[in-house]
Structure 1
Amino acid sequence: MTKDVVALTRTMPDPLSVLAGLLAGGPDMLAGVEGDGAVVQLCDERGRPLVSVEAPLLVRVRGEAARLLGATEPEVPYWWTEARAITGVKEAEELAGTFAARVATLVGGTAWPPQAARSLAVVDTDGVRAVPAPAAAQPAVDVLTDKVAVVIQDRPVVAMTAWLSDAFRAVANAGLGLQIVTPAGTRLSPAVRGSLPGWPSRWVVQDKKDGYYDGLSGAVLRWDNGLFVTAGSTDATPEDPRTPVAESFASETADDGERQLAVSFRAVHPADDRLVLGGALEAVWRELTGEPPAGWGTEEPANLPWSLRQLTDLAYERTPEPTWLVVVGTPERPGLATVRISRTEAGVEEDVTLAFGYGPGETVPTDADVTRAAEVLATRHDLQSMLVQVRRARRDLSVPPRFEGPGVPYAFVLGAEEVRELPGDRARRTPLPRPPRELGPKRRPALYYPFPGDPSDLAGWADFERLMRHLKGA
């Protein structure tokens, strides 16, 4: 059984009551767990954590259970209650499954994975105690060395859950790497892919033939001296380009017609108490899909309906610390963005990475659509720069452990202030075959640089690099 289990219920469960029912000693064993911590751990007689249970999360965004678990979800709103069992301990996995099944049975709902719903057998809980998780505890970490924290995930999509988000912060504060180990069939959420730092952090995929490989580069890996390193490496150094690549990663797949349109942009706003954040992202979303985002949150699943006011309030509450958010679309038009809001000397910056997915027969936005979205950003939302790419990749936006190929430039946009700061006509007179188009007022325009945008032709990157060198005066 997988060690992660989730109960999806229409009614808010009371995890402590369920835990009390599981423990032989009853509610007395739960004394002291009603503290500020959102996680309760079931521990054995030696104090070893067996199962960690998180506080229920109210999800009001349609499609998140299907996107992240492949599960059929109740109508929104519903409650998402997650438990995680310690790796390799059968009793812990049985206890987590029984907990989720009983939650679903008592308040009405379903348990994921499906086999957890059949875990209603009596579990021996002699010696098990429920205690608050200590402040330094990291339920997501399975192995901790002096170099990395290792997280083992056996679920369809590794998402930026509250547990995993905590693990990212903890390893960053400790100066460690984070290595996520998954079976071959698991994929990453773009939110996790975009947050995974550089070496020694990596996504480690189990493979029957090659043992382990890096899910993003394909490099064959081995465990050595407290972390996964590339096969053939004698010590922990960045990958040698001659490192063997796993066959499972490099095997070619037929073009099934699925595409992604990727948009990354930065907007820099003057610091103002009346500033409303998130408007730039909403504007792009509306121009490219005809509707606003469906929901947002500080973790996955994204649980809050889209709201500029609530998003802005959260960012102001966290100032001067930066705010990281995930934003999602509807199942009918898959879209996912990560947003980082930070206060800098230049003002308030919004860094956005956004992607939309399209299946066979669905039309990717045209050049006119992208131009219109860019003009709205440039004229109304303090755009600094914007890069649009198109690529052959999954419609559901998840990242598989195989080679998908890079995106190719579709368009680049330089904000009006950046155009003004460049000397002379440098921004307008470029080495590209097509001149840029002006966006916005003629006295202070932004510039739109189009590229062919053919996902089968990587030559567009050479043109993009020429443009960047030109704009930098190199």
Structure 2
Amino acid sequence: MTKDVIALTPKMPDTWAVLAGLYAGGPGLDVRAVHDGAVIQLCAPDGRALVSVEAPLLVQVPGEAERLLGAGVPLPDIPYWWTEARACTALPEAERLAGSVGGRLTALLGGSTWPSTAATTDVVGTPAGDVTPRAVPGAAPPAVDVLSDSVDVLTDSTAVVLADRPVVALTTWLSDVLRTAIATGRALHIVTPPHVHLSLPLRTALTGLPNRWVVQDPDCGYYDGLSGAVLRWQDGTFAPEPCETGATPVAEAFAGTTGRGDEHQLVVAFRVLHEPVPDLVLGRALQTAWEALTGTAPAGWGSAEPVNLPWSTRQLTALARDRAPEPTQLTAVGHPGRPGLALHRITRAKDGVAEDITLTLGYGAGETPPLDALAPLADSLVGGHGLVSLLASLRVARRDLTVPPRFEKPPVPLSFTLGAADVRAIGLTHARRPPLNLRPVPLGPAARPALHYPLGDGTDARAWTVLQQLSAHLGAAQRV
């Protein structure tokens, strides 16, 4: 299992501190820089990377370490520096080597390490010549070489990462691994013990085959953490293991209860479309939704986890402009008192600039999701942000928004809002008279309204049938 050690320091690791950390293995280890210098690796004499140290990240958003590492981590005051050292599985000494890198950084700079028991300042000797290289296809292109240095197992079809931390998140490193795996025609399989959870951004990134979350299980061996399918390692990848009838069995551990029936998540997914004017500022629709549902703006944003930048629509817009015409995928988080996370995708559309946003908010026992705020929110997005559509739903799921390796019920629709442009294209008369017991509420200007369709209170799964019938009714008019 790959072991990660994270140094959380109040001071930025400077050159001398990094050098002290790199001497954790003594003078006999080689050092090299990869990923355009963003990662420094301590290497065995045969060239195998033993520990990879990422460039320090300045975290300016409260609650991120607690969200990803747990509440018991002693933290420096905000802001602090987050430096990850990842140990490979080639040698048992690699884990202690990563701990010594982290311990030396905190000894010089203050702060703490995660896990706290990993930190030392010992010099960790490593035997020469005892590292078994992983199998990599012959005459591998540079992308495969980079992938080979980043993952635990690499085959012709699959890149395997072994992880053991409270929440496996979509870090910059893991994003690069996923992109490189896709570019080389490989699947990414993340293998974890059963106590590990995924963050929502990573769960979204792994959605759909061939990528998988593989969970170790003492009863069945391995199972898919998102579908429950029992898996086995065959032909260089994890694949479902069918039973005698040909069906794929579901692991008992996946089907077990989560014990979170009194916790809920409110999910608001919407799309807004803007004219491509020079002074366009992005992120305001997301801020409007966050304020309407929580009373505060988002706490921070970033392109990976941990989310490290204070919320700023100006900086967010600048990044999207720099990346255009390529899409920009961002994550926003809320303040610790109200768990909230948004996936925010910005793209060039045929008619302008589109923002696709999925905002998820967590509620515990005794906390009531603000369902009455959904219609006013839709009205605000129609009037000031070019709303195309909005679907709100409620689900029984963890307040902390992490994804466990167990079955969770799908969300139940609460309401659907269709923007003014699509209402006009479909025809107001047709759109406002679906063959259902629904009374849509007009929003925005009377001459060009949007329509808001209440679907239920989130407790009756039959709302999905109503939504499907409504979608069919609206789609029929567009096909004429």
Normalising by structure 1, report the TM-score. 0.92
In structure 1, distance between residues paired with 2:81 and 2:94: 23
Mapped contact 2:93–2:126 kept (Cα < 8 A): no
Query: Counterpart in 2 of 1:270?
Result: 275
Query: Counterpart in 1 of 2:313?
Result: 308
Task: Give how far 1:404 is off.
Answer: 1.3
Correspondence 1:137 to 2:146: yes
Match of 1:93 among 95, 113, 118: 95
Alignment of 1:375-386 (within 5 A): 375-386=379-390
Task: Kindly provide the amino acid, as one letter, of the partner of residue 80 in structure 2.
Answer: Y
Query: Counterpart in 2 of 1:325?
Result: 330
In structure 2, distance between residues paired with 1:352 and 1:342: 11
Task: Kindly provide the amino acid, as one letter, of the partner of residue 5 in structure 2.
Answer: V
Match of 1:401 among 386, 401, 405: 405
Query: Counterpart in 1 of 2:61?
Result: 61
In structure 2, distance between residues paired with 1:273 and 1:72: 45
Mapped contact 2:38–2:55 kept (Cα < 8 A): yes
In structure 2, distance between residues paired with 1:154 and 1:42: 21
Correspondence 1:281 to 2:283: no
In structure 2, distance between residues paired with 1:217 and 1:22: 42
Query: Counterpart in 1 of 2:421?
Result: 417
- State the Cα deviation string for residues 61-108 of structure 1 (Å, max 9, x = none): 001000001133221100000011112521111100111111111110
Q: In 2 relative to 1, CA 325–270 (structure 1 residues): closer, same or farther, beyond 3 Å?
A: same
Query: Counterpart in 1 of 2:189?
Result: 179
Correspondence 1:347 to 2:356: no
Query: Counterpart in 2 of 1:257?
Result: 262
Task: Give how far 1:203 is off.
Answer: 0.8
In structure 1, distance between residues paired with 2:122 and 2:461: 56
In structure 2, distance between residues paired with 1:81 and 1:233: 45
Query: Counterpart in 2 of 1:468?
Result: 471
- State the Cα deviation string for residues 400-454 of structure 1 (Å, max 9, x = none): 0001100000111101111111035221001231211011111111111111133
Q: In 2 relative to 1, CA 459–260 (structure 1 residues): closer, same or farther, beyond 3 Å?
A: same
- State the Cα deviation string for residues 153-187 of structure 1 (Å, max 9, x = none): 11110101111010121122222221111110000
Unaligned runs of 5+ in 1: 129-133, 235-239
Q: In 2 relative to 1, CA 23–402 (structure 1 residues): closer, same or farther, beyond 3 Å?
A: closer
Alignment of 1:140-151 (within 5 A): 140-151=150-161
Task: Kindly provide the amino acid, as one letter, of the partner of residue 209 in structure 2.
Answer: W
Size of the aligned set, in residue pairs, is: 459
Alignment of 1:36-115 (within 5 A): 36-70=36-70, 71-115=73-117
- State the Cα deviation string for residues 251-305 of structure 1 (Å, max 9, x = none): 1344541110001111111111111001110100000000000000011000000
In structure 2, distance between residues paired with 1:241 and 1:417: 48
Mapped contact 2:25–2:123 kept (Cα < 8 A): no
- State the Cα deviation string for residues 13-67 of structure 1 (Å, max 9, x = none): 13532234324339x966x759941101111111011111001000000010000
Structure 1 segments (4+ residues) deviating >3 Å: 32-36, 125-128, 253-256
Match of 1:295 among 296, 300, 309: 300
Query: Counterpart in 2 of 1:431?
Result: 435
Query: Counterpart in 1 of 2:132?
Result: none
In structure 2, distance between residues paired with 1:241 and 1:333: 45
- State the Cα deviation string for residues 307-329 of structure 1 (Å, max 9, x = none): 00000000000111111111000
Correspondence 1:217 to 2:227: yes
Query: Counterpart in 2 of 1:237?
Result: none
Correspondence 1:122 to 2:132: no
Mapped contact 1:183–1:205 kept (Cα < 8 A): yes
Say which SS state the counterpart of residue 337 (structure 1) adopts.
strand
Unaligned runs of 5+ in 2: 130-141
Q: In 2 relative to 1, CA 255–317 (structure 1 residues): closer, same or farther, beyond 3 Å?
A: closer
Q: In 2 relative to 1, CA 370–87 (structure 1 residues): closer, same or farther, beyond 3 Å?
A: same
In structure 1, distance between residues paired with 2:25 and 2:200: 39
Cα RMSD, aligned residues only: 2.2
Task: Kindly provide the amino acid, as one letter, of the partner of residue 92 in structure 1.
Answer: A
Mapped contact 2:50–2:90 kept (Cα < 8 A): no
Correspondence 1:162 to 2:211: no
Normalising by structure 2, report the TM-score. 0.91
Q: In 2 relative to 1, CA 21–146 (structure 1 residues): closer, same or farther, beyond 3 Å?
A: closer
Mapped contact 1:20–1:29 kept (Cα < 8 A): no
Query: Counterpart in 2 of 1:131?
Result: none
Match of 1:248 among 246, 250, 253: 253
Mapped contact 2:33–2:41 kept (Cα < 8 A): no
Mapped contact 2:65–2:306 kept (Cα < 8 A): yes
- State the Cα deviation string for residues 315-359 of structure 1 (Å, max 9, x = none): 000111111111000110000011111112221111111100001
Task: Kindly provide the amino acid, as one letter, of the partner of residue 364 in structure 1.
Answer: P
